[in-house]
Amino acid sequence: MSYMGKKKKDCLFHVDGFEEWMDQFCSDSCSNFSFPNQIHIDLCETEQEYILETDVPNVSEQNVVIKKMETGLNICILHNNSSLQRIIPLPATIIYKKMLACLENGYLAIHISKNEVANKHEKKVLFQIEN
């Protein structure tokens, strides 16, 4: 299978299960367009990390909980006495990588390192502390 004109063997980075994850991720993202009560997630990739992004207007860090599960991430957003939740499946090789969340101006980004391994007892994705 090829993506954007590149064959699998030509890819700079190879993570087992990543292509299947992307296929599932894209089909899940497209299916959410008709359900405004869902958390829509975009995925970006750099050489060092994967980035999951979503808009969460008028929400503070205290109202966002991101839990690591064996099969992926559970994102829960509490706002105005209601909650939204989305479980994002991740390949097993990625769930144990270091993750850090940032929330700024209603924009949530979850950075997943390609190289750094997380503490094995880490159950939540922590927010980046601004200096």
Residue 128: domain span: 38-131
Which pTM was predicted? 0.71
CATH of the domain at 45: 2.60.40.790
Alpha carbons 127 and 65: distance in angstroms, whole number: 10
Q: How many domains does the chain have?
A: 1
In a domain? residue 70: yes
The CA-atom distances, in angstroms, between 54 and each of 5, 92, 94, 104, 115 are 27, 22, 19, 11, 23
In a domain? residue 103: yes
In a domain? residue 84: yes
Tens place of pLDDT for every residue, the chain, 131 residues? 434 444 444 555 556 666 666 666 555 544 444 345 678 889 999 999 999 999 988 899 999 999 999 889 999 998 888 888 999 998 888 888 999 999 999 999 999 999 999 887 788 898 886 64
The 72-79 sheet, strands edge to edge = 64-69, 72-79, 82-89
